[in-house]
Structure 1
């Protein structure tokens, strides 16, 4: 907040009316009203008095309000040693301003992405040249990467997330796999239990995909991240 808002805030916090504060400062109530509305600004001696009345620091009262001329009355009231400290600090600030260091932005990693796999209702995995895609995170050892398309594997894999895959035909129960199921590519969880083998979505609005003689299945690999 700026000084106009702060005067009003701390005045009310103390339980003073504008008239009460005006009497304490030996000014007219219209002056306090002008300060609180932002039409005028109090002189530094009145700022100091209000800070004492409100039992706060001057900086708390001044807030975000700052103009070049504001520093002069304060500086003039300092003793010689403190004026020297202000001068040395100002010189240091000027040196920093004139020697701003600009650090180069961190180079993003790029990943070769071979199309998308469905986390929904089916997707065709690309056999073409991969696209280079920026990636901010740590890249694990992998054979290829794909983009998730859909929400069937949320919350583990989000829509448009890049996932990394190790090529393999060997799959353990419970692993996340990239699979071709009836000629469409999916990311799913492989499950084998008393109910048989199937590809499972984490989002329960999607049905399991049974693995049997009625469906064609081939495994591209398992997800490593």
Structure 2
């Protein structure tokens, strides 16, 4: 006969924890649907009258300081029949499919330069500036991004807002409809590129701003395509 209930009480008493203390500590490990555990529940487990559900049993083991729950619940040489082995497999499968009890991979981080001088999403600001800071980014930043630039102004709202960092892939050319980072007569812009039979224009997403035409005599250069 298993002695798991005696081990629960022995572990609690060894740590000089009251039942109230154990139940309170369990709350940080319990899913919302299982928060109703009480000291009466713990008393019934210690007496061997009832068994905790899997998620509750895991929370109890953690509250008592057991990282390996098998130490608390399984005898030194457990002998499970076929039904018990099947149930153990079901519990394992359920735990592996519950985010709370599975290991999460460490996020992949990388360093990207972010230029300190903002690009305009408005009237135009100087872009060709070497001042930059290396910023650690995670997987939410597209892998093809090569650098970042902060946006100044509201002309690219609602997609891009004032102060937001946009992530850019370096490029010297772009297609019609691409969001580009560019310079026009030494002013830096973040705009939607329009190429048609009328020539090139820089388009704001905010309709209150008029298109900026690129004339033949203008100095125009694309620095990159916004990818995120």
State the TM-score bracket (shorter-chain normalisation).
0.5 to 0.7
Among 96, 99, 111, the residue aligned to 2:62: 96
Aligned to 1:198: 201
User: Does structure 2 retain, via aligned residues, the 8 Å contact 1:140–1:164?
Assistant: no
Count of residue pairs the alignment pairs up? 155
Q: Could you say which structure has the larger radius of gyration?
A: 1
Find the residue that maps to 1:165 and give its secondary structure: strand
Contact kept in structure 1, 2:155 and 2:205, CA below 8 Å: yes
Aligned residue in 1 for 2:175: 172
Using structure 2 for the length normalisation, give the TM-score: 0.52
RMSD in angstroms over aligned alpha carbons?
Answer: 3.9
Give the unaligned 5+ runs of structure 2.
Answer: 1-34, 69-102
Report matched runs for 1:1-225 at 5 Å.
71=40, 83-86=47-50, 94-97=60-63, 98-99=65-66, 106=107, 108-115=109-116, 116-125=118-127, 127-136=129-138, 137-213=140-216, 215-225=218-228
Q: 1:88: how far off?
A: 7.5
TM-score by length of 1: 0.53
The structure that is helix-richer by fraction is: 1
How far, CA to CA, are the matches of 1:168 and 1:92 in structure 2? 53
Whole-Å separation in 2 of the counterparts to 1:152 and 1:213: 24
Between 1:109-118 and 1:97-106, the stretch displaced more is: 97-106
Structure 2 contact 149–165 (Cα < 8 Å) conserved: yes
Cα separation, 1, equivalents of 2:204 and 2:192: 6
Hey, what's the Cα distance between the residues in 2 that align with 1:160 and 1:134?
18
